[in-house]
């Protein structure tokens, strides 16, 4: 019986190296700064595993690579998935996969500054209708 994490269908089928790099930079927390050159190297390395596939089997990964995959799992760019099957001798066998979360990569394309500027303190005053600002005038 497969145990699968449901991933919504992506709007874009192909994730490019620059797209993934921008998502990595924007997804990493503020304490851990990452420059674009380093993110491009990581994105290239990650996409070399996937090629044109959506998911890869975990067995391909070396321990260092797996650590990188776990880091990207924390920011939800990669999602672990597993299948369980019963072998002929009755034993359970688990197969672990990694899936690119295309929707999350697309969400992280938005610059951090743009996301932070979505709502500022000044925006509160912009929402107040003009007639409220004329209180006391002409009384």
Is the pLDDT higher at 135 or at 70? Answer: 70
> CA nearest 25: which of 37, 15, 16, 12?
37
* Domain contains 100: yes
Please state, in angstroms and rounded to a whole number, the distance separating the CA atoms of residues 91 and 57: 20
Number of domains in the chain: 1
**Confidence check: pLDDT of 3 > 90:** no
SS3 68: helix
First CA to last CA distance, the chain: 75
Residue 1 lies in a domain: no
The pLDDT tens digits for 73-93 are 999 999 999 999 999 999 999
Q: Is residue 2 part of a domain?
A: no
- The verdict on residue 139 lying in a domain is no
Domain that holds residue 60: 7-133
* pLDDT score, position 22: 93
Please report whether residue 113 resides in a domain: yes
Q: What is the DSSP letter of 135?
A: T
- The 10 Å Cβ neighbour count of residue 27 is 20
Q: Tell me if 138 is assigned to some domain.
A: no
How confident is the model over 32-48, as pLDDT tens digits? 778 899 999 999 999 99
| Residues contacting 9, CB < 8 A, separation 6+ | none
What is the model's pLDDT at position 67? 93
């Amino acid at each position: 019986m497969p145990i699968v994490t449901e991933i919504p269908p992506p709007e874009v089928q192909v994730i490019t190296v620059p797209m993934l790099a921008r998502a990595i930079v924007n997804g990493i927390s503020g304490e851990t700064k990452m420059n674009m050159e380093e993110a491009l190297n990581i994105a290239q390395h990650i996409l070399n595993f996937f090629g044109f596939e959506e998911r890869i089997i975990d067995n391909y990964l070396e321990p260092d690579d797996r650590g990188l995959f776990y880091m990207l799992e924390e920011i939800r760019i990669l999602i672990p998935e597993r299948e369980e099957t019963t072998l002929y001798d009755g034993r359970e066998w688990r197969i672990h996969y990694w899936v690119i979360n295309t929707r999350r990569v697309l969400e992280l394309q938005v610059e951090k500054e743009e996301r932070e500027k979505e709502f500022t303190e000044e925006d509160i005053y912009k929402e107040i209708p003009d007639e409220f600002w004329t209180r006391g005038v002409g009384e």
